[in-house]
Structure 1
């Protein structure tokens, strides 16, 4: 008997031509459902020959621009004249999405810190494993849509992970400029290798991500950027051959330069920012103050920026604990 690559099954056939909807079935046996599974909605459109593009949202369950944009796209799929294959999963960590939380209510799993996952792990680990071992090998390009969730707010920004090989760097840049986000950031996750981006790199796949809002809401501006960007990206990659090629939009290219671009709370209290999202700030400038609610007569603790750049992400919760990121920056850069 051959051991299945993944414990997750599906009722869609990724190789069949035409439009299909169904679910990814994540085994989940618990007190109220002995033989149950978690059903994650998926849509597939395959016509002719061409690239395979994987579109996902809801990696974190309190981020909504991606799931809403992809749900709207799914309803348009039957009418799209594509050349290739499109796999759309509006809410990848479905339990977290339905719970409106960053992490899964079932196992507290943060999907974007779970890769490469585990075949026989928790539900969130199984989802990560399925993406890395089943979905990514099929894809030529993957786009994972994010926002700041409840705890953060982001400038609308496409996150770039340029491939290491020079042969594909030109194509990658065309895809980035094809998407046309107002900001493009080459991210530095301080060595974190448990992300979707890291999984795509291990599989040798072209990968784009993005942050398009925050505060646990659906931002109309961010949603419009996402919807337009998806259409432009699918045209640029050749999946919509009948559409006119979009005019490249380079966007403001930024880079996160390690820990000096992050500001963390050193103590508990109430954080008062001294900047606004999108401000250009300088090294040494006041970033904010932390006030002690138990001793309001004490002087506030002042935090200062350790680097210069634009404030691309700010904490939305005023209450902070030691180690909470309250803001991070990115600096103007170039592709070389």
Structure 2
């Protein structure tokens, strides 16, 4: 059956802030000319991961609904409060939106946002892509394997991650439990390079070609490695961090337990901490590639163990 292509926009009011301003979720819906799956794409679940909003905007501008089979739903700003403050967590209650799904309409404001996202977005899609990033300082690059490995591979990133113990309470936790094929993408952050934005856009379009939502040949994946062991390193000491590698190291291999960064006391100049790579062969997945202030417990580095990685079949 052929339908008329349309674009719709609505704002779902979650609640009202103390100053009377409505807190709402912006949802774009693009209807194609033919029947097909409903693809949902969300960004800014974490408010400091702004690259996702630009990826979504470029997809919206470039998508031709006259060639679209199915429906695309876009939620570019999933946590408006965290986005406004450029923080990972919601500033009013300091909760992490991506740990509270499916949420609670009678709970904290973060729980209310999650509940509204479930009822107005996640419950109305057939396939799901959630865009994340390294945040305001680190840069990251990998795709989670959730419940559809072929779709995760079709994003065409060289590094994938099959976690032994996935986080609970994420958007993808909710969608995978409902049997919705789900992809969680970690791309960019820090300087938010244009090349990373474009890789995110092309990854989405390649997944859509895989789903036969848009015409064209599916681009074959590059050589891919699946990590089963990733070490997340958080600095124990705050101070001035001087990295040993810049952002170009993301995706490269560091041999041996080399120094990743040194942290100094800015007052006394004392060296407080030396951070080293944890494995003999380390794939750099997330890094702080610039001289910067660091607080104890910040996201620092993520290194994959190449010796336990799965190679292309």
- Unmatched tracts of structure 2, length 5 or more: none
- Unmatched tracts of structure 1, length 5 or more: 1-15, 164-171
Correspondence for 1:285: 258
Correspondence for 1:12: none
Paired residue for 1:273, among 219, 234, 243? 243
Please report how far the alpha carbon of residue 111 of structure 1 lies from its aligned counterpart in structure 2 after TM superposition: 1.8
Report the TM-score when normalising by structure 2.
Answer: 0.84
Paired residue for 1:184, among 145, 159, 167? 159
RMSD of the alignment, in Å? Answer: 2.7
Residues 305, 76 of structure 1: alpha-carbon distance in 2 compared, 3 angstrom cutoff: closer
User: Is 1:232 matched up with 2:209?
Assistant: no
User: Is 1:23 matched up with 2:8?
Assistant: no
**Superposed CA offset, 1:217-270 (max 9, x none):** 432001111111221111111222xx1222321443231515xx2223222332
Residues 304, 98 of structure 1: alpha-carbon distance in 2 compared, 3 angstrom cutoff: closer
User: Is 1:219 matched up with 2:219?
Assistant: no
**Superposed CA offset, 1:134-173 (max 9, x none):** 5333322110112212132123x33322x2xxxxxxxx33
Residues 58, 92 of structure 1: alpha-carbon distance in 2 compared, 3 angstrom cutoff: same
In the alignment, is the contact (CA less than 8 A) between 1:160 and 1:184 conserved in 2? Answer: no
User: Is 1:302 matched up with 2:302?
Assistant: no
Alpha-carbon separation, structure 1, partners of 2:64 and 2:222: 31
Please report how far the alpha carbon of residue 119 of structure 1 lies from its aligned counterpart in structure 2 after TM superposition: 1.7
In the alignment, is the contact (CA less than 8 A) between 1:266 and 1:322 conserved in 2? Answer: yes
**Superposed CA offset, 1:53-100 (max 9, x none):** 101112122223221121233345574432222111111112322443
Correspondence for 1:249: 221
Please report how far the alpha carbon of residue 52 of structure 1 lies from its aligned counterpart in structure 2 after TM superposition: 1.3
Alpha-carbon separation, structure 2, partners of 1:249 and 1:85: 25
In the alignment, is the contact (CA less than 8 A) between 2:237 and 2:272 conserved in 1? Answer: no
Correspondence for 1:312: 285
**Superposed CA offset, 1:101-150 (max 9, x none):** 33334433432233232121233212212334553333221101122121
User: Is 1:210 matched up with 2:185?
Assistant: yes
Correspondence for 2:24: 39
Paired residue for 2:49, among 45, 60, 63? 63
For 2:144, what is the secondary structure of its paired residue?
A: strand
Report the TM-score when normalising by structure 1.
Answer: 0.79
Give the stretch that moved more between structures: 302-311 or 99-108: 99-108
In the alignment, is the contact (CA less than 8 A) between 1:176 and 1:250 conserved in 2? Answer: no
In the alignment, is the contact (CA less than 8 A) between 2:232 and 2:303 conserved in 1? Answer: yes
Correspondence for 1:7: none
User: Is 1:174 matched up with 2:159?
Assistant: no
Alpha-carbon separation, structure 1, partners of 2:242 and 2:62: 44
Correspondence for 2:302: 328
Residues 244, 192 of structure 1: alpha-carbon distance in 2 compared, 3 angstrom cutoff: closer
